[in-house]
Structure 1
Amino acid sequence: MSTTSPGPAAWRAIAAGASASFVGIGLARFAYTPLVPELITARWFSASAVAYLGAANLAGYLAGALSAPWVGRRLGDRRALRWTMALATVALLACSVPVSAAWFFLWRLASGFAGGVIMVRVAGAVLPHLRGARRGLAGGAIFAGLGVGIAASGTLVPLLLHLGLSRTWMGLAALCAVLTALSWNGWPTASTTSAASTTSAASTTPTAPAVAPAPAAPASPPRGSARSRRLGLLLVEYALISTGLTPAMAFLADFVGRGLDRGSGSGSMVWILYGLGALVGPTLYGFLGDRLGFARALLVITLVQAGALAGLAAAHGLPAIAALSVVIGSFPPGVVPVVLGRVHELVPRRPEAQSAAWGKATVAGALSLALSAYLYSYLFDLTGQNHRVLFAIGAVALVLALVVGCAARFVRAGAEAQTPEPAPAGAGRAAG
């Protein structure tokens, strides 16, 4: 496979994709976490209501992931991504006015819907232009916007809060509006996709003799095949990973600010460190996937995260919590390009099938996020707002994800002992 660098048009597509993940998920979802203590202190909503309202974003994310194929067919990726970024911007602006809990719930739901559509459609809209780049690093670059959004929420929210809670929401919306406008014409078109594909093919095999066309690869792994079973196990693994990352994602700042009685300043500081981890997670884990193979990389990072979350459940000192926050923060955005790369390994050579499989993975993760968010909110009330119990449950979910990931490797080993499957084209590294 060629390793030439993407051209200017491809870099514009990467920038647009990163902006979309920044707006639709990085800010629209994660900016809520450092605002939780302030929403309670300012008496906008009760502690239990704030937890459930935060989960509304994840319910919307599930709806968006489920609707993404239909939205893509009706609007096309270019318009779908433009308008969902605009929807996320409007939703943040609407949250600046606490009309009622129902009003807030509606707009948190809308922002989640936008994020779900973006998560499913953005890879298919951008990655076909990056055939010459390593897919792990390319996917990491696209989803790095998610990490940048988390880091920005940790730095911007404390600064904006000096202007008041309503103006904080307005400031976040203004930033999203600017990025939406800047990326509006950066999205690739079908014609540039075709040109990129043609150029890539020509540069890869410039003197290849004419041969009869090879049979088309199946649109998805045959039902009951080893690949199909491994893809099913990957969906379960990703769902369990999503369950494990939810508690820190939703409650970390509140754990430090109110749970440890360190104040909102310390909570924001820890969230900034979480954001610093999120900045490096996508690119680092994408690179790791390129080096180790995405299945093996997924096992390694899940093991590290299970240990970090268990450590957070037991930690009391602020320095230890701060260090663990950097590690844990790298996971929510970093696991995305790794799972995406694993999907591409299991469904090789067919962009349409890869997009469909990635959509299924996103729905599995979104369903798990939504259900677990409400479960954690219920347990938060039931345990008298005990954050440590939630972190411990998250660590258990990650251990279960490890078990499923190891089971997938046994499926492969058993299948290869009987009938080896052909390796994906261009797979020079271990697939795991």
Structure 2
Amino acid sequence: MDHPSSPSPPRDRPAVMAALAAMFVGIGLARFAYTPLLPAVIAAGWFGPDEAAYLGAANLGGYLLGAIGGRRLAPRASRTAPILMLITALTFVACAVPLPFAWFVGWRFVSGLTGGALMVIAAPAALRVVPAARRGLAGGVIFAGVGLGIAISGLMVPQLLRFGVGTAWAAIGILGAAVTVATWRGWPDDVPPSREHVAAASGRPWPPAATILLVVYGVIAAGLVPHMVFLVDFIARGLGAGIAAGSTWWAVFGVSATVGPAIFGLLADRVGFGNALAFALTLQIAAIGVLLVSTGPLALAVTSIVVGAYVPGSAPLVLGRLRELFHDPVRQQIAWSRGTIVFSLGQAAGAWLLSIVFARTGDHLVLFGFGTAAFVTALALDRVGALLDARSRRRNAG
């Protein structure tokens, strides 16, 4: 999002780190630390497999509501973001004791609520003060916070579980609070747009290519659910490899997620965001589909690395593509907010659907078949959107 002045590096680096921390706490920990905790919660007898799966879906449901309301917080991001991060940390501490199922559902919903709002407001707030020449890389660094959360939780949780499931929950919450405090002062000053500017931007026509892009983003969200929610359980219980093996592959998944956004961002700088998105979708079809034909170490490596890189890597690609379609900062914020809402809808719908399917079948491969089909659909829709955009550009040029 363009800004009239180019701030000095000492100003934009703290902002990028603050937004990275928001992704780390609000998404990386709040959502993905639950994945290696899932089989441990089941093994400890806190909840059965069906109930534990629904806790993951509750987080995604909260994410949807947070994404819907998040845009209203955008003008006050520097004040609201760290508060949301602290609330997220609190949700882990609240789950450190085996209380009734409804208690956990409520707090997992709250953690999704804060995460959805942070996804909407954090990156745009930081990128506003980053010079245009560095925004691609800065965006990749910000969304790498998701991968850091995945990697650190994959490494920490098995060690923490030696002291009990409750200790693991509490320790993750303390980590989230510490990161929040450490980056609190990095948030840039808020620059809210005028009401007239917002009203004018909201009333402009919406390009068909942008509509299709948002649909694609929603389908991507549903297609990622099997890996985000069920990968560790598939390895630990489905393949009988145990929690340690599942957490190890989850750590590989997280390390890949840490570098994935920057890699996809650099690719987009070279070939364009549209082409990079199509290439990434094709990779996902192969990386998820491989589990339908093999579950050996090589297949687990491919699926963990490639899908891991794309879980946070999809966001900077879609955000960058939206910037190509919309040049006004207010319209960019509106489009990104809508994209986050659609993504959360796709995730929530996919999570609830697959939770029901898994409760009835107990078959993880059915879930990965769904993921493969979702990415085939996303790629087809993306190519339709590209054709419409090319046709529109030719018409405008003529």
TM-score tier (shorter):
over 0.9
Query: 1:180, 1:276 → 2: CA distance?
Result: 21
For residues 134-154 of structure 1, what are the alpha-carbon distances to aligned partners after superposition, in whole Å with 9 as ceiling and x for unaligned? 322111111111111111111
Q: Secondary structure at the match of 2:163?
A: coil
Q: Is the 8 A contact 2:25 2:149 kept in 1?
A: yes
2:302 matched residue in structure 1: 323
Query: 2:87, 2:175 → 1: CA distance?
Result: 14
| 1:355 equivalent in alignment to 2:333 | yes
Deviation at 1:409, TM superposition (A): 1.3
Equivalent position amino acid for 1:361 in 2 = G
Q: Secondary structure at the match of 1:190?
A: coil
Query: 2:387, 2:132 → 1: CA distance?
Result: 32
Q: Is the 8 A contact 1:89 1:173 kept in 2?
A: yes
Equivalent position amino acid for 1:133 in 2 = A
1:163 matched residue in structure 2: 163
For residues 201-248 of structure 1, what are the alpha-carbon distances to aligned partners after superposition, in whole Å with 9 as ceiling and x for unaligned? xxxxxxxxxxxxxxx9x7269426xxx111100100000111111111
Query: 2:293, 2:280 → 1: CA distance?
Result: 20
Greater mean deviation of Cα atoms: 132-141 or 390-399: 132-141
2:88 matched residue in structure 1: 88
2:342 matched residue in structure 1: 364
| 1:400 equivalent in alignment to 2:377 | yes
Equivalent position amino acid for 1:239 in 2 = G
| 1:270 equivalent in alignment to 2:272 | no
1:62 matched residue in structure 2: 64
Query: 1:359, 1:416 → 2: CA distance?
Result: 25
1:103-122 to structure 2, matched below 5 A, reads: 103-122=103-122
Query: 1:5, 1:334 → 2: CA distance?
Result: 26
1:193-208 to structure 2, matched below 5 A, reads: none
Query: 2:66, 2:226 → 1: CA distance?
Result: 22
Q: Is the 8 A contact 1:6 1:132 kept in 2?
A: no
For residues 56-83 of structure 1, what are the alpha-carbon distances to aligned partners after superposition, in whole Å with 9 as ceiling and x for unaligned? 100000010011123345xx11111011
Deviation at 1:403, TM superposition (A): 0.6
Q: Evaluate the alpha carbon distance shift between residue 118 and residue 51 of structure 1 in structure 2; reply closer, same or farther with a 3 A threshold.
A: same
For residues 235-272 of structure 1, what are the alpha-carbon distances to aligned partners after superposition, in whole Å with 9 as ceiling and x for unaligned? 00000111111111100000010000111111111111
Deviation at 1:357, TM superposition (A): 0.7
Greater mean deviation of Cα atoms: 124-133 or 339-348: 124-133
1:21-60 to structure 2, matched below 5 A, reads: 21-60=23-62
Q: Which residue, out of 7, 10, 14, partners 1:8?
A: 10
Deviation at 1:302, TM superposition (A): 0.8
Equivalent position amino acid for 1:136 in 2 = G
Equivalent position amino acid for 1:338 in 2 = L
Equivalent position amino acid for 1:252 in 2 = L
Q: Secondary structure at the match of 1:419?
A: helix
Query: 1:420, 1:163 → 2: CA distance?
Result: 65
Q: Secondary structure at the match of 1:38?
A: helix
Deviation at 1:353, TM superposition (A): 1.3
Deviation at 1:5, TM superposition (A): 9.1
Number of aligned residue pairs: give it: 393
Q: Secondary structure at the match of 2:397?
A: coil
Q: Which residue, out of 193, 199, 205, partners 1:223?
A: 205
Normalising by structure 2, report the TM-score: 0.94
| 1:411 equivalent in alignment to 2:388 | yes
For residues 79-129 of structure 1, what are the alpha-carbon distances to aligned partners after superposition, in whole Å with 9 as ceiling and x for unaligned? 110111011000011111121100000000000001000000012211111
Query: 1:334, 1:124 → 2: CA distance?
Result: 16
Q: Evaluate the alpha carbon distance shift between residue 185 and residue 88 of structure 1 in structure 2; reply closer, same or farther with a 3 A threshold.
A: same
| 1:239 equivalent in alignment to 2:218 | yes
Deviation at 1:352, TM superposition (A): 1.4
Q: Is the 8 A contact 1:302 1:402 kept in 2?
A: yes
Deviation at 1:413, TM superposition (A): 2.6
Q: Cα RMSD over matched residues?
A: 2.2
1:181-192 to structure 2, matched below 5 A, reads: 181-190=181-190
Rg larger for: 1
Query: 2:396, 2:271 → 1: CA distance?
Result: 24
Query: 1:342, 1:419 → 2: CA distance?
Result: 19
Deviation at 1:331, TM superposition (A): 1.0
Query: 2:60, 2:268 → 1: CA distance?
Result: 27
Query: 1:418, 1:188 → 2: CA distance?
Result: 40
For residues 361-387 of structure 1, what are the alpha-carbon distances to aligned partners after superposition, in whole Å with 9 as ceiling and x for unaligned? 00000011011100000010122x101
| 1:378 equivalent in alignment to 2:343 | no
Q: Is the 8 A contact 1:58 1:109 kept in 2?
A: yes
Deviation at 1:340, TM superposition (A): 0.7
Deviation at 1:133, TM superposition (A): 3.2
Q: Secondary structure at the match of 1:129?
A: coil
Q: Evaluate the alpha carbon distance shift between residue 22 and residue 35 of structure 1 in structure 2; reply closer, same or farther with a 3 A threshold.
A: same
Query: 2:117, 2:133 → 1: CA distance?
Result: 25
Once the two structures are aligned, what percentage of the paired residues are identical? 42
Normalising by structure 1, report the TM-score: 0.87
Q: Is the 8 A contact 1:125 1:188 kept in 2?
A: yes
Q: Is the 8 A contact 2:73 2:121 kept in 1?
A: no
Greater fraction of residues in helix? 2
Greater mean deviation of Cα atoms: 354-363 or 321-330: 321-330
